[in-house]
Structure 1
Amino acid sequence: MNAIMGSGILGLSYAMANTGLIGFSILLLIVALLAAYSIHLLLCLCIRTAVTSYEDLGLLAFGSPGKILVASTILIQNIGAMSSYMFIIKSELPATISGFLADDHSGAWYLDGRLLLVITAVCIVFPLALLPKIGFLGYTSSLSFFFMVYFAIVVVIKKWYIPCPLPLNHTLTYVEISNSSECKPKLFEFSKESAFALPTMAFSFLCHTSVLPIYCELKSPSKSRMQNVANLGIFLSFLIYFISALFGYLTFYGKVESELLKSYSRFLPNDLLIITVRLFILLSVILTVPLIHFPARKAFMMMFFSCQSSCVRLILVTLVLNIVIVLLAIYVPDIRNVFGVVGSTTSTCLLFVFPGVFYLKLSFEDFLSRQKLGACGLVVLGICIGACSLTLITVNWAYNE
């Protein structure tokens, strides 16, 4: 569950606003079920091939090009994930600091999110990512799951504190708006913004690069028990995602921001619960980014260096990755762009396409067997979802320009 749940939870209310309550529920359920099925295929391959990593599956299926393809996909996916986390630091850290200060802080240096982002990256993220052993981060980052549960609880509570229609100003002074229909949830919705919904969901359920290492390191691995654990983890994550998305949407309706916490910052800027949520999310993000550095750096090294990595090379690669994610977080104007592009490309490949393709290549079953037909359907569906989403997102950008 710690591998599944991350920054995607902040974008799901926006996805619900642009697909409708029922439309979102159906799509989220489909993505969750497909994620569980693709994990099933990976576990089947793990048993038959004794392979312990996603990259090695690519190597076994298609040789060195397959390994490079998987490594590059994981690298881009992790850079996107780290960029989304750094974006949250840029957008939420100034509001969190100002929330704890009672004085007038207009024009203060700590209100510049880009400056705080650079300071955080240099003073915290980069040193932690360089540690040779970061076992303690594994334990502390597990707190992120409890932070997500707390976040969902606060979202439910705050539904009853913000009036609808929403106030026109940024205080809780109620302003009557004649159009009362904006306080009715839409069951189905389709607009140019809907293209971001499925990629955001795919981004939110991706844990597949962690499944094989976890399974292979168990003392007595069993496919059925591991599948049960994966199904339970996906189901509980689905519940937390759905509850937070639902009540976030029912609070702001069509006015919900692409990053949910920004919506609360507009209308409850000094609320204690919202400030603590921001603080917990930020702690979770800051402690998780160094962990994501490790598989990203491993994939980078695997692609460009064949020999044993030196200490200098490790530092330089970590520095380069840090610079890239900071620049992306600074210059990407909206977190939905990260969810959209990464979700429709690398997340879709790792979640749908690669498990299906590897199963078709490495399994010796008859092509008309149920498993191979399912794997084939997974591949086709993944390609269609990724291609359609990326095309619609590109058209949306061109339209906005």
Structure 2
Amino acid sequence: FRTLLTAVALLSCYSIHLLLKASGVLGIRAYEQLGFRAFGTPGKMAAAIAITLQNIGAMSSYLYIVKYELPLVLQAFLHIQEKSGEWYLNGNYLVVIVSASIILPLALMKQLGYLGYTSGFSLSCMVFFLIAVIYKKFQIPCPLLDGHTNSTLADNSTFLLEHTVVYDNGENTVIQDSVDSACGPRMMTLKTQVRLPVTKGRIDLHWSQSHTGLGYSMHHFQFSDQTAYTIPILAFAFVCHPEVLPIYTELKEPGKKKTKHVFNICTILLFLCGYALFLLFFFYRNVEPELLHTYSRVDPFDTLILCVRVAVLIAVTLTVPIVLFPVRRAIQQMLFVNKGFSWLRHFLIAIVLLSFINLLVIFAPNILDIFGIIGATSAPCLIFIFPAIFYIRIMPKEEEPMKSTPKILATCFACLGVLFMTMSLSFIIIDWTTGDGGMKGG
């Protein structure tokens, strides 16, 4: 994971370099217009569609967090042990209320610059989230049992084990190497999890893979049915390119060098947050699809985790309007290219987009397939293919001929994007046809 994270971060920085250099030659501050100058209307339409898909996926992911975390926050504040059907603990209602009362008013603003303050605050919230995860790493013991942090194996409890030698010594069930298995990181996601129903003095054991005697082979590089989604989701997380050029226009005394420094710093911060999170994360294979839900197994009313939940909710809520701006501009570039600014159109596009995303969040069974498809299609286009081919077409041949080093590197970069897209889509399609097809997504 660390290798993939480092590679995607570096490639993302290089693609921003290509994008800013191409935009500097033409003086264009819109991704779609770069596509138009490079390939005409097809280039503009391709860029606009990719931006729309990418940012709709991003906004959906943020609202998914609101849907699943806000009910838990309210439940903790109200000290409700179990839900009993209250409407104010229904995530579907809450995501609509948040969208209408907070996100929509911010999305109706005309200029992006004012949202810079909310963006900075949301980044601070995510840094607080990281600090809390690091702190909890050293506070919560491992291994972690469902519902208990320091308890013995109880009747009918479930303990998750992998690659563990298990035997019965006559009186007590002995679990050998369980701590190493539960608390040790793996090089790759393992194929299966073995659930062991524990009863007094006996474990009903069912291996899903072959073993000999009491020994069980350990595989550090075994792919699971979820591995196909790893790289697309990583790429999805690092796509900030549609926002680069609008933010470039908002900078005081903008320049290519200054803009690259700003986005390199942001990329490094994102990389370090992800790197530290997965270095210090302590649930390993037992992590749930919703990260903060795993802490509820320890203490659902933990004050620090409650504060983290509130911070994350603030961060994602304030980020949605920023992500909506490029989508609205892309739609205007596709449908209203020769029309002047209209407040009515500005409002209607925002309302329609938020309504569609709310419906997607409410009715979509899981978000894993959305991440996978968008990460395998629009993400490689926006990170790899479009910046490279726009750069090759826009940069004058007098300054940089096709055989020059920058254009050769850009060509290789575009080919890498095509390879990445082909491999990712192939893995996902194979998973859909042979496996569970992302059914475990949350």
| TM-score bracket for the superposition, by shorter chain length | 0.7 to 0.9
The structure with more strand, counted as a fraction of residues = 2
Change in CA separation of 1:294 and 1:211 when aligned onto 2, cut-off 3 Å: closer
Report SS of the residue matched to 1:106: coil
Distance 2:98 2:253 in 1: 41
Which residue identity lines up with residue 361 of structure 1 in the other structure? R
Q: Give the match for residue 118 of structure 1.
A: 96
Q: Is contact 1:117-1:326 (8 Å) kept? A: yes
Q: Structure 1 residues 322, 205: CA separation in 2 closer, same or farther (over 3 Å shift)?
A: same
In the alignment, is residue 203 of structure 1 matched against residue 203 of structure 2?
no
Cα separation, 2, equivalents of 1:135 and 1:352: 27
Shift of 1:112: 1.5
User: C-alpha offsets along residues 38-60 of structure 1, whole Å, 9 cap, x if unaligned?
Assistant: 11111221222222221111010
Tell me what 1:320 maps to.
352
Counterpart-to-counterpart distance in 2, 1:37 and 1:121: 35
Report the equivalent of 1:35: 12
The 1:385/1:259 distance shift into structure 2, 3 A limit, reads farther
| Whole-Å separation in 2 of the counterparts to 1:222 and 1:284 | 28
For 1:165 and 1:330, locate their aligned partners in 2 and report how far apart those are by CA, in whole Å: 35
Distance (whole Å) between structure 1 residues aligned to residue 47 and residue 324 of structure 2: 17
1:247 aligns with 2:280: yes
- Where do 1:164-175 residues align within 5 Å? 164-167=142-145, 169-175=146-152
1:74 aligns with 2:83: no
Whose helix fraction is larger, Structure 1's or Structure 2's?
1
Counterpart contact for 2:92–2:362, Cα < 8 Å: yes
Aligned to 2:124: 146
Structure 2: distance between partners of 1:133 and 1:230: 20
For 2:87, the equivalent position in structure 1 comes to: 109
Quick check: 1:400 aligned with 2:420? Answer: no
1:256 and 2:287 are equivalent in the alignment: yes
Output one character per residue of 1:79-135: Cα deviation in whole Å (capped at 9) or x when no partner.
111101110000100001111122455312222111211222233323332344565
Q: Deviation of residue 275 (structure 1)?
A: 0.6
Q: Distance in 1 between matches of 2:298 and 2:364?
A: 24
Residue number among 378, 384, 391 corresponding to 2:419 in the alignment = 384
Residues 296-318 of structure 1 show CA distances to partners (whole Å, capped at 9, x for unaligned) of 12211221224235444333322
CA contact (8 A) 1:166 1:174 kept: no
**Alignment: residue pair count:** 375
Return closer, same or farther for 1:97/1:358 CA change in 2, 3 Å cut-off.
same
Q: Which one has a bigger Cα radius of gyration?
A: 2
- The equivalent residue for 1:21 is none
CA RMSD of aligned residues (A): 2.2
Which secondary structure state, in structure 2, belongs to the residue aligned with residue 127 of structure 1?
helix
Alignment CA distance shift 1:330-1:67 (3 Å): same
Question: Take 1:329 and 1:388, find their aligned partners in 2: how far apart are those partners?
Answer: 28
**1:337 corresponds to which letter in structure 2?**
D
Aligned to 2:370: 338
Distance 1:392 1:294, change over 3 A: same
* Separation of aligned partners in 2, 1:171 and 1:394: 39
CA distance in 2, matches of 1:214, 1:103: 43
One-letter code of the match for 2:230? A
Residue identity in the other structure for 1:340: G
Structure with larger RCO (C-alpha < 8 A, sep 6+): 1
Work out the CA distance in 2 between the residues paired with 1:338 and 1:275.
28
Q: Bigger CA drift: 56-65 or 388-397?
A: 388-397
Deviation string 1:181-226 (CA, Å, 9 cap, x unpaired) is 2322112443221112111221222221222333345454443343
Change (3 A) 1:326 1:298: same
Q: Cα 1:323–1:225, aligned 2, differ >3 Å: closer, same or farther?
A: closer
* Residues in 1 aligned to 2:82 and 2:16: alpha-carbon distance in whole angstroms: 49
5+ unaligned residues in a row in structure 2: which ranges? 154-158, 160-174, 189-220, 438-442
CA shift at 1:367, angstroms?
2.2
Partner of 1:282: 313
Residue of structure 2 in register with 1:372 after alignment: 407
Asked if the contact 1:163–1:174 (Cα under 8 Å) also holds between the matched residues in 2, the reply is no
Aligned partner of 1:98 in structure 2 is: 75
Structure 2 Cα separation of the partners of residues 357 and 156 of structure 1: 41
Name the CA shift for 1:51/1:305 in 2 (closer, same or farther; >3 Å): closer
Write the letter of the residue equivalent to 1:92: E
Paired amino acid for 2:9: A
C-alpha distance 266-299 of structure 1, shift in aligned 2 (>3 A): farther
Give the direction of change, closer, same or farther, for the CA distance of 1:226–1:116 in structure 2 (3 Å limit). closer
Residues 1:62 and 1:133: Cα distance change in structure 2 (over 3 Å): closer
What TM-score do the two structures reach when normalised by structure 2? Answer: 0.79
Which of the numbers 124, 127, 132 marks the counterpart of 2:105?
127
Greater shift, 174-183 or 135-144, is seen at 174-183
Q: Secondary structure at the match of 1:171?
A: coil
Q: Gapped runs of 5+ residues in structure 1?
A: 1-23
* AA in 1 matched with 2:378: T
Deviation at 1:29, TM superposition (A): 0.8
Distance (whole Å) between structure 2 residues aligned to residue 136 and residue 206 of structure 1? 22
Q: Residues 270 and 218 (structure 1 numbering): CA distance in 2 closer, same or farther, change over 3 Å?
A: closer
Q: Distance in 1 between matches of 2:83 and 2:258?
A: 55
**Identity among equivalent pairs (%):** 43
Q: After the TM superposition, which residues 345-360 of structure 1 pair with which residues of structure 2 at under 5 Å, given as runs?
A: 345-360=377-392
Q: 1:61 — aligned with what?
A: 38
1:240-280, Cα deviation, whole Å (9 max, x unpaired): 111012222xx111111233122223333111111111101
